[in-house]
Amino acid sequence: MKKVGVLISGRGRNLGALISAQMDAPYRIALVISNIADAGGLERATDAGIPSLVIPHKGKSRDAFDAEMDAALRAAGIDIVCLAGFMRILSDSFARAWEGRLINIHPSLLPAYKGIKVHERVIEAGEAQSGASVHFVVPELDAGPVIAQASVPVRPDDSPESLATRVLDVELKLYPAALRLLAEGRVRLEKGLAVFD
């Protein structure tokens, strides 16, 4: 049974999906950390009886903030870290320390549309499809090897909000499936590649 730590900054819809899926999965979420004190996801953790922690990032160097998170995750005996709507860029040293056990969900079909304002850029480019990707986190932003992806159509009348909603629907299915693969040891990061057994 793998112990999972989830890092959030917002509403925690992805956290909610991971919580719902854990009962019949080989992982248990043992700690939720938010860098934002009033993040809605903290309530989801409390409602599920999961310990949570607020570690503000304000007024701290990236390394100091990451060192606090690292210490809390290790103290909780965490095996796998999931970024779920976590809106901070992690230091290279944190990414390296957790490499192979640190994953993220990004609302595009990586490697396309890394970074922010994804839906606006997808619509602007006239793409016919978009989607979500779960990937291993490496020091370069949104650049780690992909573990799982799911695509959705982009409709001609889509707004960034309507597209975000459609993408989120697949995120909430994709993330639990990808975390299960990792927790079961059926995927691993090897020489910069996601390797499946």
Q: Which residue number, 41 or 176, has a Cβ lying nearer to ligand GRF?
A: 41
Least Å distance, CB 91 to ligand GRF, is 19
Q: Where are the alpha helices (DSSP H) in the chain?
A: 13-21, 41-47, 62-75, 92-97, 118-124, 160-183
Least Å distance, CB 171 to ligand GRF, is 6
Q: Which residue is nearest to ligand GRF (CB)?
A: 85
155 — phi, psi (to 5°)? -95, 150
Least Å distance, CB 141 to ligand GRF, is 13
Say if strands 129-136 and 146-153 run parallel, antiparallel, or are unpaired: antiparallel
> Residue 63 has which token pair?
């390394």
Amino acid at 169: D
Q: Which residue number, 67 or 88, has a Cβ lying nearer to ligand GRF?
A: 88
User: Who's near 72: CB < 8 A, 6+ residues apart?
Assistant: 5, 31, 33, 53, 55
- The position carrying tokens 């309530």 is 43
Q: Which residue number, 48 or 164, has a Cβ lying nearer to ligand GRF?
A: 164
**Residue 75: how many CB atoms within 10 A of its CB?**
10
The site for ligand GRF (CB under 6 A) is made up of: 8, 10-15, 41, 84-85, 105, 107, 164, 168, 171
Residue 106 designated active-site = yes
Least Å distance, CB 9 to ligand GRF, is 7
- The position carrying tokens 């909000």 is 161
53 — phi, psi (to 5°)? -145, 140
CB 104 within 8 A of CB 83: yes
Q: Which residue number, 91 or 108, has a Cβ lying nearer to ligand GRF?
A: 108
Q: Which residue number, 174 or 194, has a Cβ lying nearer to ligand GRF?
A: 174
Least Å distance, CB 111 to ligand GRF, is 16
Q: Which residue numbers are catalytic?
A: 106
